[in-house]
Structure 1
Amino acid sequence: MSGTVWWKSGTVYQIYPRSFQDSNGDGVGDLRGITMRLDYLAWLGVDAIWISPFYTSPMADFGYDVSDYCNVDPLFGTLEDFDELIAEAHRRKLRVILDFVPNHSSIEHPWFTESRASRSNPKRDWYIWRDPAPDGGPPNNWLSNFGGPAWTRDAATGQFYYHAFLPEQPDLNWRNPAVRAAMHDVLRFWLQRGVDGFRVDVIWHLIKDEGFRDNPLNPAFVPDLPEINRFSQVYSCDRPEVFDIVAGMRKVLREQGERVLIGEIYLPIERLVAYYGEDLTGADLPFNFQLLSTAWEAPSVAALVEEYEAALPDGGWPNWVLGNHDRRRIADRVGEAQARIAAMLLLTLRGTPTLYYGDEIGLANVPIPPDRVQDPWELNEPGHGRDPERTPMQWEDAPHAGFSVSEPWLPLSLDAAKRNVDEMRDDSGSILTLHRRLLHLRRDHAALSIGGYRTVSSPAELSEDLFVYERYEGEATVRVVLNFGDRERRLTLPGGAVWIVLLSSRSGRSGAHEAGELAVAPSEGLILAPQNRS
């Protein structure tokens, strides 16, 4: 695999810095804390870490409201701490990917302070300002993703500014060349400090309809959905001009060699794949979040994989995500037993997988008492908060699970004394051990990391809960068998062949030889290879 681009063969591990490791006892994770845990990440077997925002911020949305793109918020440390983190990560052959938040800044960013100073200010057009509607209200019907109108009136100048999220997060005007140039310089600042790539926040939002037309009603809207779903966002995001913006970012990254550009994109597959760009000039990895909402059953997952593989442009490299800081944890969605199947699926499908911190120990969503709610979305629209999937990493059976010497900013799970790295690390049957074995198996078998993909499940097998597929590279073939059901199922292996179990999601079966009819236990996953073949 020496000739393979690193972000194709590797695995990305997302770190939410507030919740990974606190080094200074204030109850909030920081950059030095991440550096403290790099040996664990190298042991685990991931190849790159993606760090959610740590830039200077008033923290209205926990760092996704940036007031200085080229500095570290004191809550997380200093630029010197970041430089040390980069150096120590690279010493362990770990790549570092940063979150880039270009759609909006903080209301406290100096750019916005100038922009709102007067209608004639040179930076007025760096943000999106519009006159009121004839009735004096917002310019159109666009809604905020966090509830309520997406427009806030500025009393001093009499115009409204647009914010796709909180009023404290005004959207930048990417139609302005000066904005593009300034944000490209931000990318260069971090690239020159050694960053290996960026995950671009809400990349599909960057360009808005030039005429600011009203979004049409969404006929599928139901009251229990977040209010943003009341309208179809056809004019407020995913505009055709955005692809030129993405291509420009990619060009800046390539100035520094092989760097990766990842785009956060919550869109259907046919729109998602467009972000690879014409002739692959767009994002290297438009994030594929389809597994976050697909029914957890063999036929649905198999159909999704086939649809996605068929939709990829020639040369487009796939990627898969099962969890992140905005969505329910996978163990919460599918249950503890099926979380093992989810791990095997994520780490054996073709493409680059992204693993969310804590998923490797089976951490589920943690209930948050009302008096400890932090997320502004939950405060605006109760029932849609993201705190439960952002709770601290659990390291050991110690006060505050080894995350901090003080009370953490969010509570730990009730089973933290057992669900932690130290308790699971040497347990051959733990979900942590399963993740580590999967990650190392990917490195040992090119078929799993860079090989091709083909489905071998029959319709009958799918209806019986089994999803079976193969990964192959040259003469090497690896077969993956996943039981999505709660009953034992049987599978006929190819006639005459003897298969070795490289890994089972259940302890004690790895290394076994199988032929003829294969029994697959409830919620069991198996990785098989033909005998005498790599």
Structure 2
Amino acid sequence: MTTAAPSVHARELSDAPDWWRQAVVYQVYPRSFADTNDDGLGDIPGITSRVPYLAELGVDAIWLSPFYPSALADGGYDVADYRDVDPRLGTLADMDELIAQLHAHGIRVVVDIVPNHTSNDHAWFQEALAAGRGSAARERYIFREGTGPYGSEPPTDWVSVFGGSGWERVADGQWYFHNFDVSQPDLNWSNPEVRADFVKTLRFWSDRGVDGFRIDVAHMLTKDLSEPLPSQAELDAMPIDGNHPLLDRDDVHEVYAEWRAVFNSYDPPRTAVAEAWVHPSRVPLYASAESLGQSFNFDLLEADFDARQFRTIVADNLALAATSGSSTTWVLSNHDVVRHATRYGLPDAERGDDGRPTLKHGNEWLLSGGQSPTLDAERGERRARAAALFVLGLPGSAYLYQGEELGLHEVAEIPDDQRQDPTFFRSRGIDQGRDGCRVPLPWSESGPAFGFGEGGAHLPQPDWFATYAVDLQDGDPASTLTLYRRALDLRHELQTDEQLAWVEAAGDEVVAFERPNGWTVVTNFGDQPAPLPAGEVLVSSRALDGDTLPGETTVWLRRA
């Protein structure tokens, strides 16, 4: 293995056990980041080639979405082997080199673990199909006899997250359960062999230098499938309070307590963050030091660009973090949602009495091919810059999604015959799916696939990607890329602890808070100018004019 000398932007890798508490973590979707073998798919060497870019951006860690062998039925979340690299993306040696390069540049590595289900190509599932009824191999999964004449009907009417039945029949007549795509059979987490194998996987990657793990659908592993099985209507009516048959069960933390013992056996301890879509009161269970240690806060993914919503979300999630003893996380975009530059340029979501969105205009816009409702792209980017600067000023971890530092919008203009997301196909196009945020990045204004790779891109890139290219933004003081670099550099200087104090602001549309070191963050969520507080301007999401703070703008100030 050869490790190139760190760039001038490299920082020393911290050995502090709590490095993750205030880290900026950059999500890399490997197949859409950078391609070096010209097959149209991003790969591990492609990520390695861009480590200097990540170092200059100033992130503390990267989170790698799945890079394991996969048929790509669900963007790599259908895993055929948890302890290898998809040969289209590289080798284990390539992964070792990537980890070494990132560490040499002071960047930690978090990898995705997908424990709820495997791919139907996984050796275990193929063994289960061959072994037949009552076999130990089938006990690793959830197999049941059907109902109706000759067992021809599924065991229940349960619906998959991706649409359609949650059960699939195999050749000998039994049915297996899949919460997601038919190619993703759920594992049986009551089986000791399943639990032992995942411990082996966690140690495999930890021993190779991985610093932490993002746990996919962490709230869905354990299940109570005692007979008689409830109907879908009965499931929907049950409270999700720790005893639901399929979701957010208390006994899942028995699994994570075992994992925590594994993490703590390393120095520094390996970290974990839960993707757990649960009631807020349940989040501290996943974020506690006895369980995974941190949990995603997804509230901002569903929020409008609105002062009241942002302030409430921040206050609520800081309180939850205090309850668990963890730090909170802030997420504006990821691989599963419409990019926030686009969300903020569309009409606000329609909301029910509980404040939750009942209609998200992002999907309506995607269904129209980006024609309706009208996207105000400039406003969306302006708001996105302000929201990013607001979030990066908060205590806790900030998770960035690749391309948001370029101001990228969602891609709506993907022909149906080039879509890949199973959500699109299983919903018969009613849900356009997540392909629009997974389009390969534009690295250069011109050239094949805008610099992604000589062999094109596995999802079509629109012509307008040229205006967001890295080489066009690099060195431009007004670019979104420059804004992110400046903010992350300042954050490393200013972020000393996790304290936040709200300060009085001028009007209901302005939110302001003070951090240690006399650092104040002020955001004007309205569209009219507001008075600019006194202080030295450190960075602003938009050019300032005299002593006013423009609408839809965030500024960081140092108290005079």
Same fold flag (TM > 0.5)? yes
**Is this contact kept in 1: 2:220–2:248, CA < 8 A?**
yes
Match of 1:221 in 2: none
User: Which letter maps to 1:128?
Assistant: I
Partner of 1:138: 154
- Mapping 1:352-367, distance limit 5 Å: 352-367=397-412
State the SS of the aligned residue for 2:548: strand
**TM alignment of 1:18-57, pairs within 5 A:** 18-57=31-70
Aligned partner of 2:6 in structure 1 is none
Q: Following the alignment from structure 1 to structure 2, what is the Cα–Cα distance between the partners of residues 160 and 349?
A: 48
C-alpha separation in 2, matches of 1:2 and 1:469: 30
Tell me the secondary structure at the aligned position of residue 109 of structure 2.
strand
Shift of 1:134: 5.6
Please say if 1:119 is aligned against 2:133. yes
Q: Which of 212, 218, 227 is the matching residue for 1:203?
A: 218
Q: 1:428 to 1:326 in 2, by over 3 A?
A: same
Match status 1:260 vs 2:290: no
Whether the aligned pair in 1 keeps the contact of 2:109 and 2:210 (CA below 8 Å) is yes
Report the equivalent of 1:486: 527
Match of 2:303 in 1: 294
The one-letter code sitting in structure 2 at the alignment partner of 1:214 is P
**1:9-408 equivalent positions in 2, closer than 5 A:** 9-116=22-129, 117-133=131-147, 136=151, 137-156=153-172, 158-211=173-226, 213-214=229-230, 217=233, 234-257=244-267, 258-277=269-288, 280-312=289-321, 313-334=323-344, 335-367=380-412, 368-381=414-427, 382=429, 383-399=431-447, 400-408=449-457
**Secondary structure at 1:115's aligned position in 2?**
helix
SS in 2 for 1:204: coil
| DSSP-derived class of the 1:467 partner | strand
Are 2:214 and 2:272, in contact at CA under 8 Å, matched by a contact in 1?
yes
C-alpha offsets along residues 440-471 of structure 1, whole Å, 9 cap, x if unaligned? 11101134xx331122246x72x3x2111122
TM-score of the pair, normalised by structure 2:
0.85
C-alpha displacement at 1:230, in angstroms?
10
* Number of aligned residues: 499
1:146 to 1:262, Cα distance in 2 relative to 1, 3 A = same
1:503 and 2:539 aligned = yes
AA paired with 1:433? T
Q: Structure 1 pair 51/242, CA: closer, same or farther in 2 (3 Å)?
A: same
Aligned counterpart for 1:421 among listed residues 470, 486, 489: 470
Tell me whether 266-275 or 186-195 shows the greater mean CA deviation: 266-275
Structure 2: distance between partners of 1:374 and 1:58: 11
- For 2:144, the aligned partner's letter is R
Q: Secondary structure at the match of 1:436?
A: helix
Structure 1's unaligned 5+ residue stretches are: 219-227, 513-517
Distance 1:85 1:271, change over 3 A: same
For 1:269 and 1:46, the matched residues in 2 are separated by 28
Cα distance, 1:262 vs structure 2: 1.1
CA contact (8 A) 2:158 2:232 kept: no
CA distance in 1, matches of 2:50, 2:274: 26
Q: Secondary structure of the equivalent of 2:272?
A: strand
Partners of 2:436 and 2:80 in 1: CA distance: 26
Q: How far apart, in 2, do the equivalents of 1:268 and 1:289 lie?
A: 11
Amino acid at match of 1:33: G
How far the C-alpha of 1:90 sits from its partner, in A, is 0.9
Post-superposition shift, 1:102? 1.0
- Identity rate of aligned residues, in percent? 41
CA RMSD of aligned residues (A): 2.2
User: CA–CA distance in 2 between the matches of 1:184 and 1:4?
Assistant: 21
Q: Secondary structure of 2:54's partner?
A: helix
Q: What code does the residue aligned with 2:184 have?
A: Q
Letter in 2 for 1:170: P
What's the CA shift for 1:232? 7.8
Q: 1:286 to 1:75 in 2, by over 3 A?
A: same
TM-score if structure 1 supplies the norm length? 0.89
CA contact (8 A) 1:142 1:236 kept: no
**3-state SS of 1:69 partner:** coil
Distance 2:233 2:486 in 1: 48
Measured in 2, the distance between the counterparts of 1:230 and 1:365 equals: 35
1:217–1:232 Cα contact (<8 Å) kept: no
CA shift at 1:187, angstroms?
A: 1.0
How big is each residue's C-alpha offset from its partner over 1:20-64, in whole Å with a ceiling of 9 and x where there is no partner? 000011111000000000000000000101111111112221211
| CA distance in structure 1 between the aligned counterparts of 2:387 and 2:515, rounded to whole angstroms | 17
1:440 aligned to 2:489?
A: yes
Q: How big is the shift at 1:174?
A: 0.9
Question: Within 5 Å, which residues of 2 pair with 1:519-534?
Answer: 519-531=548-560
Determine the C-alpha separation between the residues in 2 that align with 1:194 and 1:397: 35
CA offset at residue 384 of structure 1? 3.6
SS of aligned partner of 1:39: helix
Q: Which residue of 2 aligns with 1:224?
A: none
Distance 2:138 2:115 in 1: 17
